[in-house]
Amino acid sequence: MNPVVVKANIVVFIASFCTLVIELVAGRIMAPYVGVSLYTWTSIIGVVLAGISIGAWVGGMLADRYPRPATLGWLLFLSGLGALTIAPLTDLIGAAPLRTTLMLRILLLTTAIFFLPSTLLGMISPVVVKLTLDNLSRTGNIVGKIYAFSTLGSIIGTFATGFFLISWMGTRSILLTMGGILIVSAFVFGGGFLKRRAAVISAAAVVSVSVFLFTVFGYAYRPLLDGKVYYYKESDYFTIKLMKYPIKGGAVEGDALILDNLIHSINDVNDPTFLDYDYIRIYEELVSWQMESRTSVDALFIGGGGYTFPRCMEAQYPGARIDVVEIDPEVTRVVHECLGLPRTTSIRSFNEDGRWFVMNSRDRGRYDFIFGDAFNDLSIPYHLTTREFAQQMKALLKPDGFLIANLIDSVTEGLFLPSYIRTLEDVFGKGNVNLLVLAPELRRVGIATCVVVASPRTWDMEDFARATAARTGRKMTAHLVPQEKLQEILRDRPSVVLTDDCVPVDNLTAPIFEARYGYKRK
């Protein structure tokens, strides 16, 4: 094969490889600021494609005007610098208080951070094609090979990043590496794009860039962490952080687990019965009420997080069968090593998708309780909200079992909460789905965590309130929304039954989080 063509194939392979690596890394590096939602990936894919498209157009004009290797060298060099700006720029503007809709905010941030690097990378292929074509009779063959290698680079970059690089290196080290590869490629394939200068200046430039890379790594390429954060890890699913957190009136320091942008749990490693979050206390009240009439307990958790309530149940109900489905094995490992879950625990962990587990659990027996604890704030696994999944969970429940799920929304203003309740009513029946909140006056609840309870049979939830008050002798955490009030909310609020074919969860939750984070709808 012609050495010029081989060189061209290598260059476009590298450029496309780096482009797809950066595109996949984009979702992870922005997660702590905007979550991982349909809006996030739509913005990333759209912005990167727009950058590549405009880059190809501008690169074509540039290739016709300056058809020389130095042009390629400068594009590779600038692309490398563009890749190096991503991490510090994300830290600089990621939390910018843009007064706009959530969708537009994500789009603006994505554009500001990723458009220029994508455009520079998109300019490389037209220049490579121009430099390689020396015989018009072979145009199809040469261009075909160049684009084949370009696509191959994209494919390998996609699989390598998703399957290996992020969990192995972390996003910031990946961006540093991609920037370094592109800058080195500029010197290797740029035809001496600095040849007008003395060789000593070229060598000094290489040394300066190397020193720069090692210097900035200690600042711009390490994540901005609170002083109390003592653990940081980017897994295949989340950005995981652990930090010390004052509990029990500040007398003790607990450990908080942060996944992406949300604190998921706060644990006391020495006291498994400690429950910091109100919604988990509601879980405990429901289980305690039911355990007055049950002789055993079988519980399934869809979403493990910090394993806070599974640890509590294991301590309070020895012999209980407790299964936890946590999609991220790194989260489970961290809970074992840092958050108080012993290796000798009777809790069984399954590191797989919650829906996949439920679909394949008919031989594991039925459960008294299924806890849906996989809903985050800005990112909700939509396939765990649908009617079809609710039907699968109902099949796993005992006839008197409970599905107990927590979600964040506004009772009086939200769109997701009424849609989710309507979906469960479609499966469990009207009157068999109840809502528990943290205050009796709904308009004072605001945007908060709510607990939705569904069962194949009808329960007297007023008995739950009476029994809990009598047992504890203290004020309940849970406040039951009466059925007539719940039905009034469902009538007054627009809602849809969520199905696998139509599940607009991101659209339903966006308005509430615009209000929660101070964004302004237009």
Q: Give the model confidence (pLDDT) of 222-278 as tens digits.
A: 666 667 889 988 888 888 999 998 888 878 889 999 988 788 899 999 999 999 999
- pTM here is 0.81
Q: Is the pLDDT of residue 220 over 60?
A: no
Beta pairing partners, 270: none
Residue 160 has pLDDT above 90, yes or no: yes
Residue 204 clears pLDDT 80, i.e. is over it? no
The C-alpha atoms of residue 343 and residue 335 are separated, in whole angstroms, by 10
441-458 pLDDT per residue, tens? 777 777 788 999 999 999
Report the pLDDT value the prediction gives residue 210, as an integer from 0 to 100. Answer: 52
pLDDT value at 386 more than 70? yes
Averaged pLDDT for residues 201-213? 55
Element (H, E) at 239: strand 239-247
Q: Which of 91-100, 119-128, 220-229, 358-367 has the highest mean pLDDT?
A: 119-128
Q: Spell out a b/e string for 113-129, using b for 16 or more CB atoms within 10 Å of the CB, else e.
A: bbbbbbbbbbbbbbbbb
**pLDDT, tens digit (0-9, with 9 covering 90-100), for 399-435:** 999 999 999 888 888 889 999 999 999 999 999 999 9
pLDDT in tens, 295-321: 889 999 999 999 999 999 999 999 999
Q: Which residue has the tokens 């290996």?
A: 164
pLDDT at position 251:
80
Instruction: Give the closest residue to 387 by CA, choosing from 424, 433, 361, 432.
Output: 424
Write down the pLDDT at residue 94: 80
Q: What structural domains and CATH numbers belong to the chain?
A: 3-217 (1.20.1250), 277-516 (3.40.50.150)
- Using one digit for the tens of pLDDT, what is the confidence trace for 15-74? 999 999 999 999 888 887 777 777 888 999 999 999 999 999 999 999 999 998 889 999
Averaged confidence pLDDT in the chain: 86
